[in-house]
Amino acid sequence: MIISSLEKTTKAIIFNPLILLPMLIAVIVARVSTNLTSFVIERPLAEMLIYYETFMTSDFFFIVLNRYSFEIAIMLISMFIVLFIAVLGFIALVHFAKGEGIFDAINKSYSNFGKSLSLTFFALLVLFLSFISLAIIQLIFNFLYSILPESINGILAIVILPIILLVIFSIYLTKLGFILPAIDGNNIREAVKASWEFTNDKFINAFLYMIIVLIISAIIIIVLTTIGVLLDMSFIFELISDIIGMTFFGLSISYYYFNK
């Protein structure tokens, strides 16, 4: 199943380059949004650097929220728009993996944007809960560091903490990683359940597959970005690398899911 899914993905990208269109749209929107956001947060970043000591010795989060509420709002809106367009693109890839033509797949994705909207909110919720989980784990380990001997603290920091983070990462990645293909024909709750149940009897295989896909996607991005630097065409090749890398990831997990 792993080899078959990767083979289908590779052939689709090589012999049907129009499949790159959904992620082309997503990447362009992301670049435009990033440039606009960078312009907005230029002043806050400059002030934080100039008045670093003042920020660090005061109620940092309160000051940032109070002083830069407009900039934060722009950043959050920009993040939501980029994520929403990316989800639309990924769902188009899901329809393509089911055998539909690329233009029909894009049309279905954009015409039924309600699922993409709910999936975007869910992704933001998962991201928020992930940060909360990491913060709680950090607090627990900081407390343990303060009451345990240094010899044990070393084991906690080098062995126990990485293992806990790896377990949490593998659960998040594997159990929720197939929500994108599972959303087709389901609402968000049903998609989460379907993704969870899909990996019940093959958790290790699914986890390894996700890692393989992420590594290949990263290699694609690194290689193409490096070529762009060598040819002095960094911007163009960065766009191409993001488009192909994201397309490869979306198609790969879709083919794997539908091969069940």
pLDDT over 80 at 186, yes or no? no
Give the pTM: 0.81
| Residues near 30 by beta carbon (within 8 Å), at least 6 away in sequence | 82, 85, 86, 242
Q: Pull the structure tokens for residue 193.
A: 């359940």
Chain centre distance of CA 239 = 17
Return the percentage of the chain with pLDDT > 70, whole number.
Answer: 88
Is the per-residue pLDDT at 260 higher than 70? no
**Would you state the structure tokens that stand for residue 172, as one six-digit string?**
């998040």
What confidence tier does 220 reach under pLDDT thresholds 50, 70, 90? very high
Quote the mean pLDDT of the chain: 84
Mean pLDDT of 167-192: 85
For residue 229, which of 217, 219, 241, 218 has the smallest C-alpha distance?
Answer: 241
| Region 199-213 average pLDDT | 89
pLDDT band at 148 (very low <50, low <70, confident <90, very high): confident
Sign of the alpha-carbon dihedral angle for 242, 81, 168, 250: negative
Instruction: Convert the chain into a string of H (helix), E (strand) and C (coil).
Output: CHHHHHHHHHHHHHHCHHHHHHHHHHHHHHHHHHHHHHHHCHHHHHHHHHCHHHHHCCCHHHHHHHHCHHHHHHHHHHHHHHHHHHHHHHHHHHHHHCCCCHHHHHHHHHHCHHHHHHHHHHHHHHHHHHHHHHHHHHHHHHHHHHHCCHHHHHHHHHHHHHHHHHHHHHHHHHHHCCHHHHCCCCCHHHHHHHHHHHCCCCHHHHHHHHHHHHHHHHHHHHHHHHHHHHCCCHHHHHHHHHHHHHHHHHHHHHHHHHCC
The pair of three-digit structure tokens given for residue 141, joined into one six-digit string:
């380990």
Range ranked top by mean pLDDT from 17-21, 78-82, 147-151: 17-21
Across residues 179-207, what is the average pLDDT? 86
pLDDT exceeding 90 applies to what percent of the chain? 25
Which residue carries 């690398």 as its tokens? 241
- Which pLDDT score, from 0 to 100, does residue 64 have? 64
Over residues 189-208, the mean pLDDT reads 87
Higher-confidence residue: 58 or 5?
A: 5
Per-residue pLDDT tens digits for 43-82: 766 666 666 555 555 555 666 666 667 777 777 888 888 8
The pLDDT, as a whole number, for residue 175 is 87
pLDDT of amino acid 100: 86
Q: What is the mean pLDDT of residues 248-257?
A: 93
Whole-number pLDDT of residue 47: 66
pLDDT tens per residue, range 80-128: 888 899 999 999 999 999 888 888 988 888 887 788 888 888 888 888 8
Residue 203 has a pLDDT of: 87
Cα 22 to Cα 38, 101, 113, 134, distances in angstroms: 24, 12, 14, 33
**What pLDDT sits at residue 48?**
65
User: Is it the case that residue 240 has pLDDT exceeding 90?
Assistant: yes
Q: How far apart are CA 132 and CA 28, in angstroms?
A: 31
The amino acid occupying position 19 is I
The half-sphere exposure of 121 on its side-chain side, counting CA atoms within 13 A, is 8
